[in-house]
Amino acid sequence: MKNQTEEIVSTTQIRKRTVTGLLVFGLLVIVIVSMAALFSRDWNKSSSTRAAGIPTQFRTVLNANESIFDLIFSEQHLAKTYPVNDAVKNVRVNGNYGMGKNFDSSAWKLQLIRKPGDTIYLTLEDIKALPKTDIVFDFKCIEGWSQVTHWGGVKFSDFINKFGLDEQAHMKYVGLHTPDNAYYVGIDSKSMLHPQTILCYEMNGKPLPMNQGAPLRLIIPVKYGIKHLKRIGTLFFSNHRPPDYWYEKGYDYYSGL
Ligand X SMILES: Nc1nc2c(c(=O)[nH]1)N[C@H]1C(S)=C(S)[C@@H](COP(=O)(O)O)O[C@H]1N2
Site string for Mo ion, 217-246 (x = CB under 5 A): --------x---------------------
Positive or negative, the CA dihedral 90, 96, 101, 105 is negative
Binding to Mo ion by residue 147, rule CB under 5 A?
Answer: no
Partner touching 212 among ligand X, Mo ion, none, CB below 5 to 8 Å by kind: ligand X
Please say whether the beta carbons of 179 and 233 come within 8 A. yes
At closest approach, how far in Å is the CB of 229 from ligand X? 5
Phi, psi torsion values for 146, nearest 5 degrees? -150, 155
At closest approach, how far in Å is the CB of 208 from ligand X? 9
Q: Which residue is nearest to ligand X (CB)?
A: 95
* Interface ranges with ligand X (CB under 6 A): 91-99, 141, 178, 183, 212, 225-226, 228-231
Q: What is the DSSP string of 46-101?
A: HHHHHTTTS-HHHHHHHHHHHHHHHHH--TT-PPPB--GGGS-SS------TT--S
Closest CA to 95 of 57, 145, 29, 23: 145
Cα separation, 197 vs 75, whole angstroms? 11
Site for Mo ion in 88-107 (CB under 5 A): none
Query: Closer to Mo ion at the Cβ: 160 or 177?
Result: 177
Coil, strand, or helix at residue 82? coil
Site for Mo ion in 29-88 (CB under 5 A): none
Per the document, the length of the chain is: 257
Partner touching 97 among ligand X, Mo ion, none, CB below 5 to 8 Å by kind: ligand X
Choose which of 32, 79, 130, 141 interacts with Mo ion (CB under 5 A): 141
For 84, what's the count of Cα atoms within 13 Å in the CB-facing half-sphere?
Answer: 7
Positive or negative, the CA dihedral 62, 140, 170, 113 is negative
Query: Closer to ligand X at the Cβ: 6 or 248?
Result: 248
Partner touching 191 among ligand X, Mo ion, none, CB below 5 to 8 Å by kind: none
Query: Closer to ligand X at the Cβ: 40 or 212?
Result: 212
At closest approach, how far in Å is the CB of 147 from ligand X? 8
- The contact set with Mo ion (CB under 5 A) reads 141, 225
